[in-house]
Amino acid sequence: MNIKFGRRFFLIILVVMVVSGIITLHLRTDSSSVADNPVTSTTMTRFLMDTAIVIKAVGPDSENAVNEAFAEIERVEAVFSRHLPDSQVAKINQHAGEWVAVSPEVFELLQKGIYYGRLSGGAFDITIGSVIELWGFGSGINRVPDEDELRQARQYVDISKVEIDEERGRVRIPQGTVLDFGGIAKGYAVDLCKQVLKENRVISAMISAGGDIAVVGVKENGNPWRVGIQHPRISTDILAVVSLVDQTIVTSGDYERFFIEEGVRFHHIIDPATGFPARGVISVTIIADSAADGDALSTAVFVLGLDQGKELIERLDGIEAVIVDEDGDAWVSSGLKDEIELL
């Protein structure tokens, strides 16, 4: 299904959300419940994982639940950020060429990254770090590398050369290789955040972490959460709405992190095959049960482009997508076309 959305598309926004401060409201319930465990509504915003993260939750002691959820996101960042020298990922990179023991969760997410690397034929690759460093994404000092630099860095980008020892829970990468979990760790953090909220008996919640959104249950009024699709250059234009119940929606776009040099937009979604920003599409949105899966797939499909991306999505169970090409035309996956609401 092709839908004309206009040129350069696609930022996910929340249709209804308070994004500043902490708001706690006591909602009506029976007197014994109020006395023992009052149901409250809390909204908080914090800057973590290089983005503003907003959590809105309703449930018993929702403020404590939200604080615990943010603490989990902080913990994930401390484990997976290659920019933090004491993180487990940084230690793997620091000891390239050697076996490094890692925690079960690092081992598990590494395996998921390898899985999506193989599934996408290398379009998603967690060994892309050496190339990302050249472009300066994450450091704040952006520049266009020369071809010799990229050729040198690209020789270390190869997911097939990552060695894993399941029995001993250890990992070894080749010297020169730099692991970067930026394309999957935020989604993983959102998944764990959602899990923490549920464990704290939250009734209804929404987590917004840049292009990653997850919802718990339905809204307070019993209706599904409605998430708007917005033009990436005109923040006031909402072009479509999707309804979510206990799901995640993730977008990768050329407008999230970029710089312009000599009139050319260079964004952070790098094609491992070329070392340059991927071209052909400007936005990919994935709807799935897991934000980590959505993260990896949105990057993979962006790099694969429209034709190969469509083919990948249509053969995956439980995954829906919207892909917007450089002409502003949007393709909607077969399972979503009757669910999306065009405005």
Domains of the chain: 2-62+206-255+281-342 (3.10.520.10)
3-state secondary structure of 195: helix
Please tell me the predicted confidence (pLDDT) of residue 155.
Answer: 96
Nearest one of 214, 210, 229, 226 to 324, comparing CA atoms? 229
Please tell me the predicted confidence (pLDDT) of residue 14.
Answer: 42
Q: pLDDT tens for residues 176-211?
A: 999 999 999 999 999 999 999 999 999 999 999 988
Quickly count: other Cβ atoms within 10 Å of residue 209's Cβ. Answer: 22
**C-alpha radius of gyration, the chain, whole number:** 20
Please tell me the predicted confidence (pLDDT) of residue 331.
Answer: 92
d(CA 229, CA 251): 10
Residues 6+ apart with CB under 8 A from 281: 301, 302, 305, 306, 309, 323, 324, 325, 326
Q: How far is CA 82 from CA 68, 94, 155, 178, 302, in A?
A: 24, 10, 20, 9, 23
Q: How far is CA 90 from CA 84, 135, 165, 169, 335, in A?
A: 7, 19, 19, 17, 40
Nearest one of 174, 136, 110 to 270, comparing CA atoms? 136
Tokens encoding 12: 């996910």
d(CA 326, CA 179): 30
Strands 329-332, 320-325: pairing kind: antiparallel
Please tell me the predicted confidence (pLDDT) of residue 328.
Answer: 82
Q: pLDDT tens for residues 123-172?
A: 999 999 999 999 998 777 899 999 999 999 999 999 999 999 999 999 99
Helix H, strand E, coil C: the string for 209-245 is: ECCEEEEECCCCCCCCEEEEEECCCCCCCEEEEEEEC
Please tell me the predicted confidence (pLDDT) of residue 318.
Answer: 95
d(CA 251, CA 284): 6
Q: Average per-residue pLDDT in the chain?
A: 88
Please tell me the predicted confidence (pLDDT) of residue 96.
Answer: 98
Please tell me the predicted confidence (pLDDT) of residue 320.
Answer: 96
Please tell me the predicted confidence (pLDDT) of residue 341.
Answer: 86
Tokens encoding 33: 């419940």
Q: How far is CA 223 from CA 12, 124, 220, 286, 304, in A?
A: 19, 35, 7, 21, 36
Instruction: For the chain, list residues with pLDDT below 70.
Output: 1-36, 230-235, 239, 342-343
Would you say 74 and 140 are in contact if contact means Cβ atoms under 8 Å apart? no
Strands 264-267, 281-288: pairing kind: unpaired
Please tell me the predicted confidence (pLDDT) of residue 233.
Answer: 62
